Amino acid sequence: MRLMVITGASSGVGRATALRFASEGYAVCALARSANKLDELVVEAVGKIYPYPTDVSDSQAVERTFAKILEEHGKIDVLVNNAGVTTGGRPIDFAMIDRIIDTNLKGTLYCTFAALPSMRQNGGGHIVNVASIAGVNISAQGDDGLYIASKHGVVAHSEALGRLVRRDGVLVTALCPGGIDTPLWNDENPYPYDEGMMIQPEEVADLIAYILAQPKRTLFKNVIFVPVVEQW
């Protein structure tokens, strides 16, 4: 049985992806801060989802969780770094800077380096980083330079690390989507285009499934996909 670890599994893209892969026979280790939402996910799943409530911005918590996953499951085939937060249009102060960088960028790095030794030891694996169009483009996201900086960091690191670890059989893909119909958008932080045109979370899960199904001779490095209504 292949083992996937996915962060941000309690909502949106992470939730859809966890359900999709569990239904396809993966053992899915689901990480998020909300234990209750992870428990609901386990109940809803057709297949095996194992909840690991974890704050990915806490390096020690990440270390403990991955040690537990490896103790309980023995290996990690796929890591999906998906947990992410936005400013939600709120003003930027030092606490907000910590929150965005610690979750989006450092959380991705912590989980990556917690998973890599096992992947290398087992002859390979795949790391899928859910970045954003904000990881490759600046103008489309208005003034939210903090989110843009965090996602540019994720894309840059994916590319640099990917070159290094490819020789160990580990592939690294950065997904760079535009607007997806998830709770990340809400009344305080509305999607600025036609909501009916947004990408659906299940479509992102489909894309991840397609990428993982490809022969290991082909690397999908950065995959950019946006609703056609977005001015990009």
Give the interface with ligand NAP as residue ranges (CB under 6 A): 7-14, 31-34, 37, 55-57, 82-85, 103, 107, 130, 132, 177, 179-180, 182-184
Cβ neighbors of 216 (< 8 A, separation 6 or more) are 124, 169, 171
**Encoding tokens for residue 73?**
């499951």
H-helix segments, the chain: 12-23, 35-44, 59-73, 94-100, 107-121, 145-165, 201-213
CB of 210 to ligand NAP, least distance (A): 17
Respond yes or no: is residue 147 known to be catalytic.
yes
- The residue among 1 and 67 lying less far from ligand NAP, judged by its C-beta, is 67
Within its chain, how far is the Cα of 163 from the centroid?
Answer: 20
CB of 228 to ligand NAP, least distance (A): 15
How many other C-beta atoms are found inside a 10 Å radius of the C-beta of residue 11?
Answer: 18
CB of 211 to ligand NAP, least distance (A): 15
**Encoding tokens for residue 21?**
């892969």
- Indicate which residue of 147, 191, 193, 210 is catalytic: 147
- The residue among 103 and 118 lying less far from ligand NAP, judged by its C-beta, is 103
- The residue among 96 and 184 lying less far from ligand NAP, judged by its C-beta, is 184
Q: Looking at residue 146, what DSSP letter applies?
A: H
- The residue among 55 and 168 lying less far from ligand NAP, judged by its C-beta, is 55
Distance CA 105, CA 59 (A): 12
CB of 220 to ligand NAP, least distance (A): 16
Residues carrying an active site annotation: 147
